[in-house]
Amino acid sequence: MVVGVLVQLSSQNVDRVFDYLVPEHLIPSIKVGVRVLVPFGKQNLEGFILEIKTNSDRELKEIYSILDKDVILNDELLLLGKEIQNTTLSTLISAYQVMLPKALKAKAGVTISKKYQTFYEIKDKEYIPSSLAQRKILELFSETKIISRKVLLEISSSALSTLLEKGVLSEIKEEDYRMKYDIKRDTKKVLTKAQQNVVDSVLNDQRHVPFLLFGVTGSGKTEVYMQIIEKVLKKGKTAIILVPEISLTPQMIEHFSNRFGNQIAALHSALSEGEKYDEWRRIARGEANIVIGARSAIFAPLKNIGIIIMDEEHSDSYKQGDKNPRYHARDIAIWRGKYHSCPVLLGSATPSLESMARARKGVYELVTLQERVNGKMLPEVEIIDMNQESKRSSYHITNTLLKNLNDCIKRGDQAILFLNRRGFSTFVTCKNCSEVIKCPNCDITLTYHKSNKMLRCHYCGYATPLPKECPKCHENSLSDLGVGTEKIEEELHILLPSVKVLRMDVDTTSKKGAHKKMIDAFRNHEYDILLGTQIVAKGLDFSDVTLVGVINADTSLNIPDFRSSENTYSLLSQVAGRSGRSSKTGKVLIQTFNPDHYAISFVKHHDYLGFYNEEMKIRKRLGYPPFYFLCYLKISGKEADYLFQESLKIKRSLERNLQYTTILGPTTLAVFKVNNIYRYGIILKYKKEDMLYDILLKIQNHYKNNHKIKVDIDFNPSHF
Ligand code: ADP
Ligand code: ZN
């Protein structure tokens, strides 16, 4: 017997099936979709069996072992991988790897497999090994998070016991899943008529096209999702619900675990690799039938899917843009929906322009929730013109906002203050010579972290203490410009000394579980004001919040990106939606230097469709999505001159071969140099171009053995 194996090496050179002979004793266990260990050149590599063939006349190497008892990539996922390869031009192996938890993407020689009963994970990463065997064991853990007993015993059983005794490693029993979900008493709500209509439309799906649920903030979308899923489960089917990564996941999981208990499995970045692996196995075994998670949860190995829901469908976190495969979870959702003949529901209070345009053309079916549950009003939005107010006070919190905060807290209510950090950083500059301190590796200003007085590069991680004097003019006149949450917190302490402020941002929520603790504390009224960045913008549902203040609405407007207005509109509407969600009326104050910008004035009137129409006119005039498709070529390497010459060649070859495409560039990227790598970009704009994939594949092939240049292709990029 001969099998075709795709090895786990992410190189375009080897991204194809290699044939191996199966030794007699392994033949009964061979299945398509299991992992095997094979000799490959001088090394041993893991790979997936993709084909079973009868025989080959060539002389072949034998596979060493089979790593899985059950299939890892089922028929559906195998097919989906090829679809991803074809539509994103990524390698096939990267398409399969993105579907799996890290524990199954083990490096050569380290195997994790469920046929072993006992695994170990590392608990103490600081531990200094006291013998060679211990060091060997710990080295393995630098590559993968969980390792089977069998592999470690091969190194040294005594070193393993010592590490266990010292608590450096801990044992995981295969059946001992770490994720536990309790059912709390959570009463199913009686749906409003509008909610019931949405549920009925989706469950009686006739047209088999995706549904776009356009529902204002507080219209009860979550309840709609839960009741659809309940019906789907009753039919013996399963469900996927996707949420954007930030902040929303814990809340959604709580809602779902309260109602569905252990039927759910959650996949998101706050889990350890071991937890993710556990959840993945529960799903694969059919022990969980609702999967909740961020982007990559769309690949959950569920069988018999009855509904796929994508909440906050406009979120750019659904697009993987920084590495291959550069896929959008929405496309995968629609593909899987077709495969399972099940409805796909895309939900948002501010749908992406692309989705709304499709809904209007009938490509999607539009369902709407125009009102908040119980007919509560959307909050009143007041725009504060900073051009005027900033003259009156040197604080970032204007007098108007301060007065409203005071009133709100006096009433016994709570407030959320939102600091827009998108495209914004706190940098340090010299007041004497205007020197701005930049990263030595990257072409970007360093960000000042006040808590430890460090300057940090957010691209490469470079960090240095804040210098005493300006490196250029040597005056003692460095100062930090811009404003971070810490600065606003300071202002609040001065302006409202008795008020309790909870600051929530990446710094304060990095510890596991911190996020949920903070949300619970705020809900319990331990604080009056919740101050935060994007993390407080979306999804949170606090009944006593009657004031939302936006400190700086403008930062996201100033980003050089064709989506900056759309992103600003959507972000501000989402933040505004946190106010007045229960019986009390809410208010929103937006501080801005651009009070007349249409993105901001449409937020004032809660007029999504008004914004949509205006923005569509602009997109049409400038030739942007949804009127045109975009494809972005990122060309990177260490030698700037060589790179530029090759970028020009690429451009010329595109020009020769494409007829209906506008080709822009090559231009340097917004950040030209990152980690000493230079980057050029070419943008393609097209409506229909039959030759596009062929020519892009040729370009990829041309450079695949060239180590001096890397060409990444990103279809429908979420930003440049
Ligand atoms: P959205 O996600 O659309 O912003 P939510 O799903 O968070 O809105 O719902 C807003 C609030 O309304 C929540 O507190 C939710 O429990 C409540 N709610 C939803 N549906 C109903 C209903 N049919 N009856 C009463 N309360 C409801
Ligand atoms: Zn850097």
Q: What is the pLDDT of residues 531-565, one digit of tens each?
A: 998 878 777 889 899 999 999 888 777 666 789 89
Amino acid at 77: L
Q: What is the C-alpha to C-alpha distance for residues 634 and 678, in angstroms, rounded to an integer? A: 10
Q: What is the pLDDT of residues 7-28, one digit of tens each?
A: 988 777 778 899 999 999 999 9
Answer left, alpha or beta for residue 316, where phi above 0 means left and psi between -120 and 50 means alpha.
alpha
Question: Residues 6 or more apart from 425 whose CB is under 8 A from it?
Answer: 445, 447, 458, 482
Q: What is the C-alpha to C-alpha distance for residues 147 and 431, in angstroms, rounded to an integer? A: 54
Q: What is the pLDDT of residues 473-487, one digit of tens each?
A: 888 877 765 677 888
In 3D, which of 606, 35, 636 has the Cα closest to residue 376? 606
> What pLDDT, on a 0 to 100 scale, did the predictor assign at position 185?
61
Pairing of strands 414-418, 428-430: unpaired
- Minimum CA distance residue for ligand 1 atom 10: 218
- 220 Cα: distance to centroid of ligand 1 (angstroms): 3
Does 440 score more than 90 pLDDT? no
Q: How far apart are the first and last CA of the chain?
A: 49
Under DSSP, is residue 341 helix (H, G, I), strand (E, B) or coil? coil
> What pLDDT, on a 0 to 100 scale, did the predictor assign at position 111?
43
Beta strands in 162-311 (DSSP E): 169-173, 211-215, 238-242, 264-267, 290-293, 305-310
Other Cβ atoms within 10 Å of 126 Cβ, number? 5
195 lines ligand 1 (CB under 6 A): yes
- Minimum CA distance residue for ligand 1 atom 9: 220
Average model confidence (pLDDT) for the chain?
88
311 lines ligand 1 (CB under 6 A): no
- Torsion sign over Cα 578, 580, 583, 584: positive
In 3D, which of 329, 296, 326 has the Cα closest to residue 102? 296
Stretch 378-403: mean pLDDT = 90
- Minimum CA distance residue for ligand 1 atom 19: 220
| pTM exceeds cut of 0.85 | no
Atom of ligand 1 nearest to the CA of 195: 23
Ligand approaching nearest to the C-alpha of 442: 2
Under DSSP, is residue 156 helix (H, G, I), strand (E, B) or coil? coil
194 lines ligand 1 (CB under 6 A): no
Across 371-375, 391-395, 632-636, least confident range: 391-395
Q: What is the C-alpha to C-alpha distance for residues 503 and 533, in angstroms, rounded to an integer? A: 9
8 A C-beta contact, residue 689 and residue 658: yes
- 443 Cα: distance to centroid of ligand 2 (angstroms): 7
Give the confidence band of 600 by pLDDT, cuts at 50, 70, 90: very high
The residue with tokens 């594949």 is 697
Q: What is the C-alpha to C-alpha distance for residues 255 and 632, in angstroms, rounded to an integer? A: 39
Helix, strand, coil percent content, the chain, rounded in steps of 5: 35, 25, 40
- Minimum CA distance residue for ligand 1 atom 2: 221
- On the question of a cis peptide bond just before residue 325, with omega within 30 degrees of 0, the verdict is yes
8 A C-beta contact, residue 222 and residue 259: no
Q: What is the C-alpha to C-alpha distance for residues 70 and 284, in angstroms, rounded to an integer? A: 9
Q: Which two tokens stand for residue 191?
A: 């749906």
In 3D, which of 67, 70, 54, 42 has the Cα closest to residue 4? 54
Pairing of strands 238-242, 290-293: parallel
- 578 Cα: distance to centroid of ligand 1 (angstroms): 12
Across 233-237, 262-266, 556-560, least confident range: 556-560
Q: What is the C-alpha to C-alpha distance for residues 714 and 481, in angstroms, rounded to an integer? A: 34
Does 426 score more than 70 pLDDT? no
Q: Which of the pair, 301 or 468, is modelled with greater confidence?
A: 301
- 668 Cα: distance to centroid of ligand 2 (angstroms): 17
Rounded to 10°, the helix 353-361/608-622 angle is 90
Give the confidence band of 187 by pLDDT, cuts at 50, 70, 90: confident
Q: What is the pLDDT of residues 697-717, one digit of tens each?
A: 999 999 988 999 999 999 999
Q: Using alpha carbons only, what angle is made at residue 427 by residues 421 and 430, rounded to the nearest 5 degrees?
A: 155
